[in-house]
C-alpha cells in the first residue's frame, strides 16, 4: 500500500527575518502531526521559488506546463502527486505576491488545458437555416437557441485538482482582526482553490475555510508574539479533521 503524501505550501515572504517565522512554525507542526498518521509531509517555501506572473501567452493550453516558469512547474508536479494540501499564509493585502502568482497559474492551467466536456458545448442542430429567421413578431424559433442545462456550470468545472486542501492564516493585528484575516486570506485562497476542483476543509461551522491565528500580543511590525502552544493544539486538530474528512469524502475526490 502506497503511503499517503501531504504538501505544505508556506507563503511567507520573510526568510527567517525574526527567528523561526510563524508560517514555518505552523508548517513544522503540520509535518509532525501528519507523520504521526504515517503521512509523508513536505514543506515548500515559496520564498525560495522564482515565480513569475502569468503573461497570458496561452502556451500552457498545449504544453500542460508554463513555458517561462520552471519553479511553478516543479511545485505544480508536487501538488498533483500529493493527497493533501495545506496552505499557510500571513495576512498581506490580502495574500503574499508569490502565492498570488502560483494560484493565478494554477487556475489558468486548469481552465486552458482540459478536454472539452460534452455538456459544455452548445447543442448543434441539423435543421435548415430558414426556420431560424425571425418571424413578423421578431422572435426566433425556440430551437435556434442553445439548450441551457441547470447542471452545466458544475459539469464544466475542471477536474485537474480533485483533492483536499487545508488553509491556515495568521495576522499580527490581534484577536479583533481574526475575522478580517479569514475574509481576506482564507476566503480568497479558498475561492481560487475551489474554482479548480479542490475541496477546502472547514475547521468548524464558523471557520468554514480553514483556521486563522492572531498574535497574542499586538506589536505590528515589531516582532509580535503568538501563543505557539495554542497554535500547535489547533493545527493538530485541523490535521485530524482533514484526514478524517478524506475517509468520508473519498468517493467525490
Nearest by Cα to 170 from 183, 154, 158, 182:
182
For the chain, where do the domains classified as CATH 3.40.50.360 start and end? Answer: 5-114+158-252
Question: According to the model, what pLDDT value does residue 149 have?
Answer: 36
Question: SS3 for 9?
Answer: strand
pLDDT at 120 over 60: no
Whether the full predicted model's pTM is greater than 0.85, yes or no, is no
pLDDT mean over 218-233:
77
pLDDT mean over 70-96:
93
Is residue 4 within 8 A of residue 38, CB to CB? The reply is: yes
Nearest by Cα to 163 from 43, 61, 249, 42:
249
Distance CA 33, CA 234 (A): 11
Between 69-83, 95-109, 219-233, the lowest mean confidence (pLDDT) is in: 219-233
Helix or strand run (H / E) with residue 228: helix 228-248
Rg from Cα positions in the chain: 22
pLDDT at 114 over 60: no
60/252: higher pLDDT = 60
Distance CA 75, CA 109 (A): 13
Is residue 218 within 8 A of residue 173, CB to CB? The reply is: yes
CATH 3.40.50.150 for the 5-114+158-252 domain, yes or no: no
Q: What is the mean pLDDT of the chain?
A: 80
H, E, C per residue of 25-42: HHHHHHHHHHHHCCCEEE
Q: How do residues 57-66 score in pLDDT, each as one tens digit?
A: 888 888 888 9
Burial label for 4, CB within 10 Å (0-12, 13-18, 19+), is middle
Q: Read off the pLDDT band of 145 (50, 70, 90).
A: very low
CB-based contacts of 106: which residues, under 8 Å, 6+ apart? 76, 79, 161, 192, 196
Is residue 249 within 8 A of residue 201, CB to CB? The reply is: no
Question: According to the model, what pLDDT value does residue 130 have?
Answer: 47
Nearest by Cα to 250 from 154, 163, 155:
163
Is residue 168 within 8 A of residue 88, CB to CB? The reply is: yes
Amino acid at each position: 500500500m502506497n503511503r499517503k503524501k501531504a504538501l505544505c505550501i508556506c507563503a511567507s515572504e520573510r526568510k527567517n527575518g525574526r527567528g523561526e517565522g510563524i508560517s514555518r512554525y505552523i508548517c513544522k507542526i503540520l509535518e509532525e502531526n501528519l507523520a504521526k498518521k504515517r503521512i509523508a509531509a513536505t514543506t515548500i517555501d515559496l520564498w525560495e521559488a522564482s515565480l513569475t506572473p502569468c503573461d497570458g501567452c496561452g502556451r500552457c493550453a498545449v504544453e500542460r506546463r508554463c513555458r517561462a516558469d520552471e519553479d511553478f512547474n516543479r511545485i505544480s508536479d508536487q501538488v498533483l502527486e500529493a493527497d493533501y494540501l495545506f496552505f499557510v499564509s500571513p495576512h498581506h493585502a490580502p495574500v503574499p505576491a508569490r502565492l498570488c502568482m502560483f494560484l493565478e497559474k494554477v487556475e489558468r492551467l486548469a481552465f486552458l488545458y482540459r478536454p472539452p466536456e460534452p455538456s459544455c458545448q452548445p447543442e448543434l442542430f441539423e435543421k435548415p437555416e430558414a426556420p431560424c429567421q425571425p418571424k413578423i413578431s421578431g422572435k426566433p424559433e425556440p430551437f435556434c437557441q442553445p439548450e441551457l442545462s441547470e447542471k452545466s456550470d458544475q459539469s464544466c468545472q475542471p477536474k485537474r485538482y480533485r483533492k483536499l486542501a487545508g488553509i491556515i492564516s495568521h495576522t499580527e493585528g490581534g484577536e479583533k482582526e481574526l475575522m478580517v484575516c479569514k475574509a481576506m486570506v482564507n476566503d480568497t485562497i479558498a475561492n481560487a482553490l475551489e474554482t479548480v476542483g479542490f475541496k477546502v476543509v472547514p475547521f468548524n461551522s464558523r471557520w468554514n475555510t480553514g483556521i486563522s491565528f492572531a498574535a497574542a500580543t499586538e506589536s505590528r511590525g515589531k516582532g509580535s508574539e503568538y501563543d505557539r502552544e495554542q497554535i500547535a493544539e489547533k493545527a493538530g486538530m485541523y490535521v485530524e479533521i482533514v484526514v478524517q474528512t478524506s475517509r468520508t469524502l473519498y468517493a467525490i475526490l
